[in-house]
Amino acid sequence: MSPLELLLQQLINAVSIGSLYALMAIGLAMVFGILRLINFAHGDLIMVGSYVALLAQLLGLPFVAAAAAGVAASTVAGLAMERVAYRPLRGAHEIAMLLTSFSVTIFLENLAIILFRPTSRPFPAPAVLRSVIEMGRLRVAGLDLIAIAVAAVLLLALTLFVRRTNIGIAMRAASQDLLAARLVGINVNRVIATAFAIGSLMAGVVGLLWSARVGKVDPLMGFNPVLKAFVASVIGGLGSLPGAVIGAYVLGGLEILLQGLLPAGLTAYRDAFVFAVLIALLLFRPNGILGASEREKI
């Protein structure tokens, strides 16, 4: 392969993995923006959606119907999470909320272990998702292109939603100032539920793409994606939607770059380098790339 082709190939890889991170990071960022809650359990929505999609396929449903069922299950699980665990904590300290989300994670993962056994199960995906398209000497996985396209559509839809619809505008208002939003008559509960629903729906979509990519599902599968989505949203600036998307693509690029540049003995340490970069970045931009520096008022 010529250097240009190699670059193009790696660029596609970076954008594809970045797209998955972006869809995850959006969900984290939306909820953090409004509630200042870092929802660690967001990763487990991936797991819930994937298992439901798997079950539906085992019951004989066609893939499209199973996928819809999986995404719906993620959404319902996200809404239930908000209602049961997070709503009683409205206004609590952000650390208390973070710890609660850890509990939700422990709860869901162990529930999955009890229900489905701790071992992984194969995740069947239709041929389209497993196809490889050859363009000249480039080999592009169909799944990568689908991930990029799906992310583009969803991100565009989200942009229109938060700019054009009443509830979207209310959501932005709530993330600027929850109290003021309430004062002008915004139904905060509805706004928060909507944020959870959208984030969970995207997590469900990521779950399908992720499971198809690795070909299996297991109860702890949400752990790594949510960590990466964290990094992405912190790089971009916690709570900022455009920041989360930018952070996600930066992270995708960084991972592919490290994969390519690290000497063979060190590629296994890639994730350690990723987090080291995160810590270094926070040193210079403590609020991420787009995060407004919050000045405390006295």
- Judged by the rule CB under 8 A, the positions of this chain that interact with another protein are 32, 36, 38, 85, 88-89, 92-96, 98-100, 102-104, 106-107, 110-111, 113-114, 223, 227, 230-231, 234, 238, 268-269, 271-272, 275-276, 278-280, 282-283, 286-287, 296, 298
Q: Which is nearer to another protein, 62 or 102 (CB)?
A: 102
Shortest Cβ 273–another protein spacing (Å): 9
Report whether 141 contacts 74 (CB < 8 A).
Answer: no
Q: What is the smallest separation between the CB atom of 177 and another protein, expressed in angstroms?
A: 18
* Angstrom distance (rounded) from CA 1 to CA 65: 40
Local structure of residue 193 (DSSP, 8 states): H
| 95's tokens | 């650390």
CB nearer to another protein: pick between 134 and 296: 296
Which residues, including other chains, have CB under 8 Å from residue 101's CB and lie 6 or more apart? 37, 38, 39, 40, 41, 42, 85, 86
CB of 75 to another protein, least distance (A): 22
**What's 71's DSSP letter?**
H
User: Is the Cβ of residue 73 or residue 97 nearer to another protein in the bound state?
Assistant: 97
Closest approach of Cβ 11 to another protein, in Å? 26
Q: Of the two residues 12 and 38, which places its CB atom closer to another protein in the complex?
A: 38
Residue with tokens 């239709």: 126
* Element at 35 (helix H, strand E): helix 3-35
**Between residues 110 and 176, which has the closer beta carbon with respect to another protein?**
110
105 vs 108: CA distance, rounded Å: 5
The alpha carbon dihedral of 105, 255, 201, 219 has a sign of negative
Q: How far is the CB of 187 from another protein (least distance, A)?
A: 23
By beta-carbon proximity to another protein, the closer residue of 93 and 190 is 93
Q: What is the DSSP letter of 86?
A: I
- In whole angstroms, give the CA distance from residue 152 to residue 22: 10
| Nearest distance from C-beta of residue 112 to another protein, angstroms | 9
What are the respective helix, strand and coil percentages of the chain, to the nearest 5? 75, 5, 20
